[in-house]
Amino acid sequence: MKAVIPAAGWGLRFLPLTKEQPKEMLPVVDKPTIQYVVEEALDSGITDIVIITGRHKRGIEDHFDRSYELESILERGNKTEYLRQVREISSMADIHFIRQKEQKGLGDAVRMARQHVGDEPFAVMLGDTIYRSKVPVVKQLMNVHERTGRSVIAIEPVPREKVKDYGIVKGQQIEPDLVLIDDLVEKPHPELAPSNLAIAGTYVLTPAIFDCIEHTTPGLNGEVQLTDALRLLRMREEIYGWRFEGKRYDIGDMLGWLKTQCELALANPAYAAPLRAHMEQLLKEGR
């Protein structure tokens, strides 16, 4: 299975930090956000990855490319561990880049991968979403797809006041964590939301989604929403929602990024003890 990682957005909520730096390249502890996404794909057995970028996202391409000058410096300085790390990044997967020349929404970004994906099911993994789980979340979806032969969306319950920030699904629970989806609504008002089950940023989709995207009417700001295309797909074939095991970290805004930094740093044995001691000292001082 191939994976498509849309990463062409402007990252407006991070300005001025993202004026020149892609949002997906913002560091989380010791590596950029998008590297976590690529590593999850690899851990799931996916080695053919398409990243959808824009003209301001060259940093992503450079990160996964060879850096001969840096490697030479590290080699001359006998920095063997650093050398191993940078070489590993450039050889970790078969990564392709496709430019979305005009910002026309998530659905349009997925459409850009049609020729590369072909007539096969594929994964979509957002470039600003990190998970911690025993089994990679995209692998959980792949397992459900193998059983059902249908598209599967990662879903999770969110507080009712937060439903306005997500695509929300309506459906029938047919297994403890499996929902047969009846409808999908993009960012509904809390009082009108059909449930509190939010689309969590990872999908395994059948190739029929591409034709549905082509027939999706652009919405706000002329953008083609993937959620709207999924509504068309649901009229053709079943779609499932999977309440995944694990925790999702949304790097969609500054506060989410800062919280993720703290939590993942505290989960890292290299930094946990001194960082925790520092934070406890700050609290003791009332900062």
Confidence tier at 13 by pLDDT (50, 70, 90): confident
- Percent pLDDT > 70 in the chain is 100
N residues, the chain: 287
156-175 burial, b if ≥16 CB within 10 A, otherwise e?
bebeeeebeebbbbbbeeee
Angle ∠(197,199,203) on CA atoms, nearest 5: 135
Encoded tokens for 35: 């590297």
Give the per-residue pLDDT at 101.
84
Bridge partners of 91, per DSSP, are none
Q: What is the percent of the chain with per-residue pLDDT over 90, rounded to a whole number?
A: 63
Return the pLDDT at 145: 97
DSSP 126: -
pLDDT band at 52 (very low <50, low <70, confident <90, very high): very high
Note the pLDDT of residue 276. Answer: 93
Listed by start position, the domains of the chain span 2-252, 253-287
Q: Which CATH class is domain 2-252?
A: alpha beta
Please tell me the predicted confidence (pLDDT) of residue 51.
95
Mind listing the pLDDT tens digit for each residue in 171-186? 999 999 999 999 998 8
Assess whether pLDDT exceeds 90 at residue 49: yes
Max Cα–Cα distance, the chain, nearest Å: 63
**DSSP category for residue 163:** G
258 has a pLDDT exceeding 90: yes
